[in-house]
Amino acid sequence: MTDDPSTATDDATHATGADADGSPDAEGSADSGGSADPGSSAEAGTAVRRGRFSGGPAREFLSSLDADAAIFEADLAVDRAHVVMLAEQGIVDDATAGEILAALDDVAAAGHGALSGGEDVHEAIETAVIERVGPDGGRMHTARSRNDEVATCIRYRLREDVLEAIAATLTLREALLEVASEHVETTMPGYTHLQPAQPTTVAHYLLSYEGTVARDTARLLDAYGRVNRSPLGAAAFAGTPFDVDRDRTAELLGFDGTVRNSMDASSSRDFLTEAATALATLSTTLSGLAEDLILFSNKGFIDLSDDYSSTSSIMPQKKNPDTLELTRGVAGDAIGEATGTLSLLKGLPRAYNRDLQRAHAGVFEVAGDVAEATRVAAGAVATADWNEGTLADAAGEGFSTATGVADLLAAAGLPFRTAHEVVAEAAPAIDDGDSPATAAETVDEAARSVLGESLFAYVGRDEVERALDPAESVASRDSAGGPAPDAVRDALAAAADALEEDSATRDARRSSLAAAAESLEAEVASYA
Ligand code: ARG
């Protein structure tokens, strides 16, 4: 704020006028650039604040210029769209617009690294434009503030990150479906509490993650819809007297519309927390998948490809699942970022506060990390070998077919609880190596003791033996969404359809951004 004694060193005229609240303008203003003369100062500093409010000893602390590299491209696009709109509305004449747009091309070609210091990329680019064009360059900042500008830049950049994360989820789903379709009949142990619980199949297991990741895609697509709205034209928070066309800048920048209320537009960041939490949720899904695959490779159920493994610098025999461990680890960063962003925003008063400067950079970074972790998980899944023999042997371990035997007795007319009691009585006496015939005998003994009659008074011996076989056990559980091969084939087909639909949605989003970028480029070229 400007009442900081270390920065508010004089009360002389401000570089670009006063804000709506009359405070010295640390934010830029909505004035026309005609009442002030931003290019005329010989004092050192940026065109915006000239010698004043340079930050003094807190200069570095105030500046986001380095972190703003992430929104350099975004800011150039936002500047271009704004200038085109100002010209179309007759707020800036075409010749001046042409000069500013040419200067922006030059600034773009020089790159972010060529910007001279300043509080942020917005100020630095404006300074660079004024250096090239002269005082008229300052007309670029007519009818806007850095507040709506930065909010627009964040959304412009974030939508790319979200689209990239969406694309990564599609890749992962494709890999999960591909491998699942090869293992519809491959039995494996299913666990609860990390103990063998019931046999299932590799396809059923992989589809369980495909379902979760599909919801991650949906959450990100949903977030995208709220990210992709333009705050531009809101100015500092209180609108502008200039006849701006907010819908036009939104269109030029590929946004689906505006955030209408100008105070909401420039100060809210819920779109950011929504994207951050969707990313954190995706990373949490990935961490579970990674953990499972680490355990499975430990048990010899899968062999990870060398491409997704690492070794030890001292123990030459080691093949470690490092990529999956890092995938699991990214969730820590993503959850931290989501929590950090919410914490930063909690309790912020309306409208703009400088805390906001610290809200977005970490989200961009984590979005890239989560997308990469998602692609790595997809690669690890696609290239791992599932050891069918080991999996089949393990599928029946720990009397995991017990529930199926109880189901059989219940289907034959016993109350399920009584059936459960019979099988529970048999459980401690059943060993992993027992043949189905031996195990059936053991259950029969239990039935005689619990029911006072033979098991085979209720069900056939062959039926019991089948229920004790892991593959038969799986095949019997054919309820919707269950592991029986037919149920899984239905689920695979439905998942493939949903994946195709989401891919089409993502492609449509991408091409509408490309079309907007092209049309903005054409508009800009028309001023040359
Ligand atoms: N760098 C600032 C940010 O990221 C831009 C907005 C500055 N606005 C202000 N009123 N100081 O938030």
Report pLDDT digits (tens) over 459-496: 999 999 999 999 999 999 999 999 999 999 999 999 99
Structure tokens at 161: 């990150």
**What is the predicted pLDDT for the residue at 315?**
83
C-alpha of residue 456 to centroid of ligand 1, in Å: 79
Where are any strands of DSSP class E within 254-346? Answer: 302-303
Q: Does the C-beta of 255 come closer than 6 Å to ligand 1?
A: no
Which atom of ligand 1 is found nearest the CA of 147? 6
Question: Mind listing the pLDDT tens digit for each residue in 127-151?
Answer: 999 999 999 999 999 999 999 999 9
Q: Reply yes or no on whether the pLDDT at 183 is more than 80.
A: yes
Give me the catalytic one of 40, 116, 312, 454: 312
**Residues 6 or more apart from 284 whose CB is under 8 A from it?**
331, 334, 335
Cβ burial of 514 (10 Å; 0-12, 13-18, 19+) is: exposed
CATH 3.40.50.2300 corresponds to the domain 148-393+493-519: no
Protein residue whose Cα sits closest to atom 4 of ligand 1: 357
**Residues 6 or more apart from 91 whose CB is under 8 A from it?**
32, 142, 143, 242, 243, 244
Q: Read off the pLDDT band of 32 (50, 70, 90).
A: very low
Give me the catalytic one of 6, 193, 313, 343: 193
**What is the predicted pLDDT for the residue at 409?**
93
Report the largest interatomic distance among the alpha carbons of the chain, rounded to a whole angstrom. Answer: 105
Q: Read off the pLDDT band of 311 (50, 70, 90).
A: confident
Distance CA(130)–CA(39), nearest Å, equals 6
Which atom of ligand 1 is found nearest the CA of 352? 10
Q: Reply yes or no on whether the pLDDT at 44 is more than 90.
A: no
Protein residue whose Cα sits closest to atom 2 of ligand 1: 357
Tell me the three-class secondary structure of 341-385, residue by residue: HHHHHCCCCCCCCHHHHHCCHHHHHHHHHHHHHHHHHHHHHHHCE
C-alpha of residue 27 to centroid of ligand 1, in Å: 6
User: In the annotation, is 312 catalytic?
Assistant: yes
CATH 1.10.275.10 corresponds to the domain 10-143: yes
Q: Does the C-beta of 148 come closer than 6 Å to ligand 1?
A: no
DSSP 440: H
Q: Does the C-beta of 120 come closer than 6 Å to ligand 1?
A: yes
Q: Read off the pLDDT band of 1 (50, 70, 90).
A: very low
C-alpha of residue 370 to centroid of ligand 1, in Å: 27
**What is the predicted pLDDT for the residue at 15?**
34
C-alpha of residue 353 to centroid of ligand 1, in Å: 8
Structure tokens at 336: 């931290």
Residue pair 211/490 in contact (Cβ under 8 Å)? The answer is no
Torsion of CA 238, 241, 244, 249, to 10 degrees: -20
Percent of the chain whose predicted confidence (pLDDT) is above 70: 91
Q: Which of 21, 127, 354 to mutate to test the pocket of ligand 1 (most atoms within 8 A of CB)?
A: 354
Structure tokens at 32: 């026309």
Q: Does the C-beta of 237 come closer than 6 Å to ligand 1?
A: no
Which atom of ligand 1 is found nearest the CA of 236? 10
**What is the predicted pLDDT for the residue at 399?**
87
**What is the predicted pLDDT for the residue at 45?**
65
Q: Does the C-beta of 123 come closer than 6 Å to ligand 1?
A: no
Question: Mind listing the pLDDT tens digit for each residue in 204-234?
Answer: 999 999 999 999 999 999 999 999 999 999 9
- Cis link prior to 143 (omega < 30° from 0)? no
Cα 275 vs. chain centroid, distance in angstroms? 6
Q: Does the C-beta of 126 come closer than 6 Å to ligand 1?
A: no
Lowest mean per-residue pLDDT among 121-125, 151-155, 320-324, 340-344: 320-324
Q: Reply yes or no on whether the pLDDT at 6 is more than 50.
A: no
Q: Read off the pLDDT band of 57 (50, 70, 90).
A: confident
Question: How do the domains of the chain map onto residue ranges?
Answer: 10-143, 148-393+493-519, 402-468
Q: Reply yes or no on whether the pLDDT at 98 is more than 80.
A: yes
Q: Does the C-beta of 147 come closer than 6 Å to ligand 1?
A: yes
Torsion of CA 262, 265, 266, 272, to 10 degrees: 170
Q: What is the mean pLDDT of residues 361-374?
A: 98
**What is the predicted pLDDT for the residue at 441?**
93
User: In the annotation, is 193 catalytic?
Assistant: yes
Which atom of ligand 1 is found nearest the CA of 356? 12
Protein residue whose Cα sits closest to atom 12 of ligand 1: 357
C-alpha of residue 150 to centroid of ligand 1, in Å: 7
Question: Mind listing the pLDDT tens digit for each residue in 403-416?
Answer: 989 999 999 999 99
Q: Does the C-beta of 121 come closer than 6 Å to ligand 1?
A: no
What is the sign of the dihedral through the CA atoms of 259, 263, 266 and 267?
negative
